[in-house]
Amino acid sequence: MARHSVIFLRLLAGLLLAAASACGTVAWYGMQRTLPAGLTVDGWPIGGITIGAFEQQLAEQRQRLLGQVVRVVSKQDELPLAPADWTLEQLGLSLPLAEVEAKLRPLSAGSPFERAVYRYGLRGQTWELAPAFDAAKLHDALRRGFPGVYAKEPVDAQRIVGPQDTISYVPDTGVLRIDEPKLLEQLRAVRPTLGALAAVHDGAAADPAPDAAGALQPIATVPLAFYRQNAAVTMQTLKAQGIERKISEFTTTYPANSEGRVHNICSTAASIQDLLLAPGEVFDYAKYIADTEAKFGFKEAPVILNGKLVPGIGGGICQVSSTLYNAVLRAGLEIVERRNHSLPVSYVPLGQDATFASGYINFKFRNSTPYYLLLRTSADESRLTVKLFGQTPTDVTYTIESKTVETLAPPVKYVLNPTLPAGKSKKLTTGKPGYIVETYRYKKQDGQIVGTERISRDTYSAQPTIYESNQGGSSSPTNPAPAPQPGRQPQAPLIEDGVRGPSFP
């Protein structure tokens, strides 16, 4: 029995000694300051190097890598450029060393046993680096190196309307641009690995020889790739719009001595000059009145206030809409919204005017052709012309005829004047007749009428003859100003042919 106890104790002592030896070995393995065997970083074998030495060499390798020179050359005959040498750092290369440092940290932290386990797991591992090029830094380097390339901008094609209303074009001009994404791919391909740099540094290959000025020779020559940046507006896109010729024109005149009216007409005409309408698009006059007021402002000129001419702001804007309306009618386009003035106007025939009242009466038409429509205006001190360019059948034309179907007699209105002798009256103003007018559009093909369309039936209010009298009250004039559109009741007296009346700020 005693003999068995001695054997057991000896066996136990041996086991304890072996365990202590194993623990010591594990602790010793975990406390090693060299990197595990077979470990590589970006093709660089670092097994057996002390952690401190590796960290120092890694910083040196980083600087060596960023300092490598690449020569960028152009082989584009259209755009010859002098070769340019840049370091990889100048071209935007960055090295994510924080990832490597994070992987090394557990070798120096934690218990010896934890370090040993982590070290054992690193044996034979290959750590890949993902060096990245900053596209913004590369772009800045290229702009500095090739300023002439980046200074050039594409030039849009232009449509020219000649003095005789002919259509011609100035071609667009594209420019060559450096294909920066392609260059990034090329730089990633020539970027040397840390392993390659370490081999050069350790004498396994020759270092790049500096030139006579002491600068390093390039490690690679990269040919620039180019692409052509086209203009935003090309001649092809302009021609595809189908604007081939003038399809209608209309001119009205006005007195040159009304400075405010001339300003308002010329400014509004300028706002719609060179307007382009796509097929099916609706022209909205209210938008361009707002644009004109914001850009040019309106001046004082007579407006129509509740059927009477009074001083106001913006007088003349309806001459532009009426001139445009007549050009639109003669182009055969669809009228979406239009109203006549409450009073006859002098610059177009009855039934062929288009008034405007902000928020209540508008002028709209649709480009009802399958092609784009170009609107051109010209205005001077006494004449306004509107021309429409597009594409319609050359054998089709339109004529406009307005017919007065009824003349409205002026009503009589009396106003009280107690200073007159009893029973006496005196005429103050002579009235003017009103009219009911129907307007027709005739479609002709090869000069023969092939269609008739009644465009409108308009009423122009008669103006009353006014007498003053001491015989009693007054009567109200008949035929008030045109009512606003349904559901849009004005909160102030209705102003036509202007934007503000005398009593409105």
DSSP state of 357: B
For 153-160, what is the mean pLDDT?
96
Which of 50-64, 223-237, 246-260, 466-480 shows the lowest per-residue confidence on average (mean pLDDT)? Answer: 466-480
- Name the phi and psi angles at 316, rounded to 5: 115, -15
Question: Cα–Cα distances in Å, from 49 out to 37, 64, 120, 268?
Answer: 9, 19, 16, 82
Q: Residue 20 has what pLDDT?
A: 57
For the entire predicted model, the pTM comes to 0.72
62/291 Cα distance (integer angstroms): 60
If one compares 185 and 477, the residue with the highest pLDDT of the two is 185
If pLDDT is split at 50, 70 and 90, which confidence band does 401 have?
very high
Each residue of 39-97: pLDDT tens digit? 898 889 988 888 888 888 888 888 999 999 999 998 888 788 889 999 999 999 998 88
Query: What radius of gyration, in Å, describes the C-alpha atoms of the chain?
Result: 45
| Mean confidence (pLDDT) of the chain | 86
Each residue of 449-500: pLDDT tens digit? 999 999 999 999 999 988 888 874 444 443 444 444 444 444 455 778 777 7
Q: What number of residues does the chain have?
A: 505
Q: Residue 88 has what pLDDT?
A: 93
CA 32, 38, 42, 43 dihedral sign is positive
Q: Residue 120 has what pLDDT?
A: 81
- The strand pair at 282-284 and 373-379 is best described as unpaired
149 pLDDT higher than 70: yes
Cβ–Cβ < 8 Å for 459, 438: no
For 303-314, what is the mean pLDDT?
78
Q: Residue 304 has what pLDDT?
A: 80
If one compares 216 and 480, the residue with the highest pLDDT of the two is 216
Q: Residue 115 has what pLDDT?
A: 78
Q: Residue 503 has what pLDDT?
A: 55
Helix (H, G, I), strand (E, B) or coil at 53: helix
If pLDDT is split at 50, 70 and 90, which confidence band does 4 have?
low
Domain map (residue ranges) of the chain: 241-496
CB atoms within 10 A of CB 255: 10
Q: Residue 378 has what pLDDT?
A: 96
Those residues whose C-beta lies under 8 Å from the C-beta of residue 238, and which sit 6 or more positions away, are 157, 158, 159, 169
Which of 6-10, 157-161, 404-408 shows the lowest per-residue confidence on average (mean pLDDT)? Answer: 6-10
Tokens found for residue 495: 């102003």
Tokens found for residue 486: 């349904």
Cβ–Cβ < 8 Å for 16, 5: no
Q: Residue 172 has what pLDDT?
A: 96
- Name the phi and psi angles at 330, rounded to 5: -75, -10
